[in-house]
Structure 1
């Protein structure tokens, strides 16, 4: 989900510590506080601690994973993460981007729908430049589909547009309900290199606007043409009519919602996604690497970055910064949309 890149900068604002005016950089703040007299009292010690945390936060670089719950969008979750980190370091968000030559660069690679949960890969510092590779890598999902019901969004959040009995009319016995064997029998046609039509409710764009935005306005939207996608593995984990659970490993630009809908049609019925969990993205797994919200701290993320660095290919390893770059933090807060031929809907957001 990455190739062409467009950047829209968001205006910056300044960084001011909660307890006292902050010196020109977090690094000089730490040095100044460290040389203050011991008699300065608890307030001075707190400032030393905050300055040290600010310095550590601004030095973080790499890629890690967080656990996105159902509800917020990927962008909203990223903002929540940023707010927590800035607050821990004593950097009020409303003042943050006014600060010269300092910014917290953070972004995500591989958007998850608001109704989905699971692994969301995050880049911080120079790690935001590594996110493109996360878009084109493989992803794994557990999806629960519901037979007999179609929606305009192809998942349970949408408006029901069609209801059908889930019977095997194509098998010549329309009175019989769909069986586990029926589903397993048609999965092979959705495995390998296949063509897939993206959902109308998606971040794919028409004339610079998302299709989902146009749909919500009630505007007429034509379906995008089918495009090549890859499914590495696809298996039925459970079938308890009308619900079925799939384990899917796929490449970039693949839509689980379209898959479930197409499976319903192949069974002469219809279907939508009831629940969706991303269990793996690239080398990052939900169980082992995704940090829950109660571990979104500067120290926990620093440890995760160190642990996760060994998971990345050597060519993606972060290069040591040049001396003139080591204390410089680019002043910017932007949305970067990366479009690849297989996944134009993926957005990398950096702040």
Structure 2
């Protein structure tokens, strides 16, 4: 066990760091819940020092998800936490149908964000307003980019997708829209982010048992080499958009 003076030294070192580190968020708790747990343990946030200013840039970089969707049921939140709002047949949907329909959702597309989201109306999150029973105006469709989208598995009514997309993209909206396109309905049953910018789940994300000052210091120090500059991140987005256009033209 580290001595008291050693712990103080580590804490001071953590305070002097500037950067980001990745964590593994378990299914269930929200991002806010995870941050509150980290604050309780370390009195720090995931973005440390100047790293908090880097977060917006990092979130705008490409990210990857693996999601399990379920055909036949739609919910008000577009995921398994919501209330079922619609039930439809899905027996007519084949794997070929699913793969063919995915072509419509690759490249630069327009997407309508879900009502239950972190987007704001009059300074408050839409999801919070809906839960309070207040009137909420749906946000208009907006441009988003999907770099790659493929079927990993299909076992009706469940299907697994691999998605790589840009900032502002909602996988829940994708799955909801897929259900409609296939003359049925669907919602997200499970969702996991496997990559955010240069950080990957397997290589860089800290598991909860490692949310300690010692491990976070190590993670931030090693993460410094991974963090692209603002210019590099912008170039990444531009290059990725160019590639997505080529994919879109090819399909």
So what's the TM-score if we normalise by structure 2?
A: 0.86
Flag the structure with larger Rg.
1
- 8 Å contact from structure 1 (residues 130, 316) kept in 2: no
Partner residue of 1:210? 125
Match of 1:253 among 126, 149, 168: 168
Structure 1 stretches of 4+ moved >6 Å: none
Q: CA deviation at 1:187?
A: 0.3
Q: Say if 1:218 and 1:59 are closer, same or farther in 2 by CA, change over 3 A.
A: same
Count of residues in correspondence between the two structures: 231
Partner residue of 1:153? 77
Instruction: Tell me the distance in 2 between the aligned counterparts of 1:302 and 1:245.
Output: 35
SS in 2 for 1:83: helix
Partner residue of 2:53? 129
Q: Greater strand percent: which structure?
A: 1
- 8 Å contact from structure 1 (residues 180, 239) kept in 2: yes
Match of 1:234 among 149, 153, 169: 149
Unpaired runs of 5+ residues, structure 1, are 1-44, 87-103, 107-121, 168-176, 318-351
Q: Say if 1:316 and 1:61 are closer, same or farther in 2 by CA, change over 3 A.
A: farther
Match of 2:20 among 49, 60, 63: 63
SS in 2 for 1:137: coil
Unpaired runs of 5+ residues, structure 2, are 233-251
- 8 Å contact from structure 1 (residues 283, 312) kept in 2: yes
Instruction: Tell me the distance in 1 between the aligned counterparts of 2:4 and 2:34.
Output: 28
Partner residue of 1:243? 158
Deviations 1:60-107 (A, max 9, x none): 221110111112211221121122225xxxxxxxxxxxxxxxxx5x3x
Q: Say if 1:315 and 1:219 are closer, same or farther in 2 by CA, change over 3 A.
A: closer
Q: Say if 1:133 and 1:271 are closer, same or farther in 2 by CA, change over 3 A.
A: same
- 8 Å contact from structure 2 (residues 67, 160) kept in 1: yes
So what's the TM-score if we normalise by structure 1?
A: 0.63
Instruction: Tell me the distance in 2 between the aligned counterparts of 1:281 and 1:296.
Output: 19
Q: Greater helix percent: which structure?
A: 2
Q: CA deviation at 1:314?
A: 4.7
